[in-house]
Amino acid sequence: MERHIISPDAPLIEAIRKLDGHSGGVMTLFAVDGGRLIGSLTDGDVRRALIAGAVPSDPVSRALNRNYRALHGPEADIRELRRIRRQGVKLIPRVMDGDRLEEIIDTTVTTTRLPLSAILMAGGKGERLRPMTLTVPKPLLPIGGKPIIDYNIEALERCGISDINVTVNYLAEQIEAHFAERRGAVRVKCVREDRPLGTIGSAALVDLPAEGATLVMNSDLLTTVSFEDMYLHHADTGADITIAAIPYNVSVPYAILTTEGQTVKALEEKPSYSYYANAGIYIIHNRLLRGLPCGERIDATDLIEDAIGRGLKVSYFPISGTWIDIGSPVDFAHACELMEHRLNT
């Protein structure tokens, strides 16, 4: 944060040098006096001040933009952050008590600040991908020169999610070693199952806060789902569980009869039916995850069906964009081809 801060009493020439040091990055400074944010300063602000008659020895305060945009309060307002970001603002200050600077959010690194924990399920054997997974766990298989799981970890980091857990079992030591060496923005914690616990049972091993929600997902997905949009949908609907869903179409290659008793009432030639399928990505209230019995095998569908049976709110969020469940050699080849195309364009 300090590299983007300057005193309002500093000479403009110092601001020019400091802005030049950010060339190729975000060329914005914030004038702070006694911890209080006074204004923002860009290269354009300096040029306009010089055109108006300022000289390099004049104080920075002469060129400041005092109508800066900022977030207010102890937590980042996700909607306001998105609104400011979409206006093209790359550095967004967050202030408290009127104008006391708390932090500067660099949206080129962290696009949002979702108030979520995250759990990635990485304990499966990946049997359909053998022999590739005989010696390497599926989440570490490389696609475009990067392990599958790292695409998801990086997407979570860009959303400002800092509490990230990976549950491991099969070839667990390799995944643990990977995250011990990884130099990302966030330290990823590995939680080991002593035996397979289904698609969500291992969440009971993660120490989660009592309040709030957690994003739970399979670690072997390649997806461009917007976690920000999914979170806002979850909040807007007041859901206890939100399921990311992908469109799935079924085409019947025959004429289908509509019947009543023994009578045919209509005939539909080769109809198609559209459904939503479970994409293996969920936002779940922590009280439900904390209520899972520890050490028992439980699938996500069991938790969801129980929640529906108890009258809890379960919503769905349609995914637009890429979603590939890398479960077979064909899926893996498709994901590699897709990523190669993206890297070459």
Q: Both 293 and 167 in a single domain?
A: yes
Q: Give me the helices (H) in 4-96, please.
A: 12-20, 43-51, 78-86
d(CA 48, CA 218): 52
pLDDT attached to residue 343: 66
Statement to judge: residues 100 and 121 lie in one domain:
no
Whether residues 122 and 95 share a domain: the answer is no
Q: What is the CATH number of the domain that holds 95?
A: 3.10.580.10
Asked if 41 and 33 touch (Cβ cutoff 8 Å), the reply is: no
**Domain annotation covers residue 54:** yes
CA dihedral (61, 62, 67, 70) in degrees, to 10, reads -30
* One domain, residues 147 and 281: yes
* Residue 48 structural domain: 2-106
As a whole number of angstroms, the distance between CA 159 and CA 113 comes to 6
219-233 pLDDT tens trace: 999 899 999 999 999
pLDDT value of position 322:
87
111 domain residue, yes or no: no
Secondary structure of residue 169 in the 3-state scheme: coil
- SS3 assignment, position 215: strand
Boundary-marking domain end, from 56, 74, 106: 106
Identify whether 148 is part of a domain. yes
Tell me, yes or no, whether 95 and 125 share the same domain.
no
239 and 143 within one domain: yes
Give 37-50 pLDDT, tens digit per residue: 999 999 999 999 99
* pLDDT tens across the length of the chain (345 residues): 788 999 999 999 999 999 988 878 888 999 999 999 999 999 999 999 999 999 999 999 999 999 999 999 988 899 999 999 999 999 999 999 888 999 999 999 999 999 999 999 998 888 888 888 889 999 999 998 899 999 999 999 999 999 999 999 999 999 999 998 877 778 899 999 988 899 999 999 999 998 999 999 999 998 999 999 999 999 999 999 999 999 989 999 999 999 999 899 899 999 998 999 999 999 999 999 999 998 899 999 999 999 999 999 999 999 988 898 888 888 888 888 888 777 665
CA 254/CA 239 separation, integer angstroms: 39
- Regarding whether 133 and 78 lie in a shared domain, the answer is no
Q: Report the alpha-carbon distance of residue 217 to residue 248 in Å, rounded.
A: 19
- Indicate whether 89 and 208 sit together in one domain: no
Considering the entire predicted model, what is its pTM?
Answer: 0.88
The stretches of 26-147 forming alpha helices (DSSP H) are 43-51, 78-86
Residues 310 and 218 in one domain: yes
Last residue in a domain, options 106, 134, 168: 106
Burial class (CB in 10 A: 0-12, 13-18, 19+), 1: middle
Tell me which of 106, 141, 165 is where a domain ends: 106
- What is the total count of domains within the chain? 2
What whole-number distance in Å separates Cα of residue 59 and Cα of residue 239? Answer: 52
155 and 77 together in one domain: no
Residue 129, C-beta contacts closer than 8 angstroms, at least 6 positions apart:
138, 141, 326, 327, 328, 329, 332
Query: Are 18 and 149 contained in the same domain?
Result: no
The verdict on 50 and 164 lying in the same domain is: no
